[in-house]
Chains A and B, each alone.
Chain A
Amino acid sequence: EDQVTQSPEALRLQEGESSSLNCSYTVSGLRGLFWYRQDPGKGPEFLFTLYSAGEEKEKERLKATLTKKESFLHITAPKPEDSATYLCAVQGYTGGYNKLIFGAGTRLAVHP
């Protein structure tokens, strides 16, 4: 069964304090690994797709990396506006058409 585990559950950072969020996954054939950002009361917003081990994607202060067992979302010099829940999801070749399996998320709070 495809599964995604995210850690930590919650993270509090000072503005400018860099850190990383972890996403461990098991999937029977990875089609893609996805990172989403979710603000309170909103739907998730797409950030990145990673397809194969060794791949990296960057956007502003965020960088996502992928290995065969986990993905990291690195946040460099975060700002308060980066505060949100970050969700990781996988899409496999088996287990149903196109569906994403999400982790529970990491709630990030960045304080000035």
Chain B
Amino acid sequence: GAGVSQSPRYKVAKRGQDVALRCDPISGHVSLFWYQQALGQGPEFLTYFQNEAQLDKSGLPSDRFFAERPEGSVSTLKIQRTQQEDSAVYLCASSASGSGELFFGEGSRLTVL
């Protein structure tokens, strides 16, 4: 596609619900990242995939967070038993190589009530 596509753009969840956020990276991009951005803050790293391999998940805040990219293209970030502190914008980014020139999607804004 022309750019990185994320869905849903907005998600409201009740505390305790599970949510799934989808990312369609730019076609052919090997590297895929998930970041979390709180209001007024910079993006914080969550996890990194190279093709289908999850090479770094050091930023996932708890075992309630899980990410996958089974076929090396589309990725899903799943949050189980959501908590209010999970409210944030979740950004997906892809790149053709491992450089820091990332192409970001518009993000999925999660609000947990």
Contact = CB atoms under 8 A, between A and B. Distances in A.
Interface in A50-67: none
Nearest to B92: A43
A73 interface: no
A103 B43 CA distance: 8
A43 B4 CA distance: 10
A100 B98 CA distance: 11
A13 B102 CA distance: 29
A105 B104 contact: no
Interface string A20-57: 00000000000110100000011111100100000000
Q: How large is the interface on B (under 10, 10 to 19, 20 to 34, 35 or more residues)?
A: 20 to 34
Contact of A99 (B4, B40, B45): B45
Contacts, number: 71
Contacts of B48: 96-99
Residue from B44, B93, B99, B107 with most neighbouring chain A CB atoms (10 Å) = B99
A44 B102 CA distance: 9
Interface of A: 4, 6, 31-32, 34, 41-46, 49, 87, 89, 91, 96-105
Given A45-B104, A98-B31, 17 more contacts: A43-B91, A43-B93, A44-B91, A46-B102, A49-B99, A87-B43, A89-B100, A91-B99, A96-B56, A97-B48, A97-B98, A98-B100, A99-B45, A100-B43, A100-B102, A102-B44, A103-B42
Interface of B: 4, 31, 33, 35, 40-45, 48, 50, 55-56, 58-59, 91, 93, 98-107
17 contacts: A41-B106, A43-B4, A43-B93, A43-B104, A46-B101, A49-B99, A97-B55, A97-B56, A97-B98, A99-B48, A99-B56, A100-B33, A100-B45, A102-B42, A102-B44, A104-B42, A105-B41
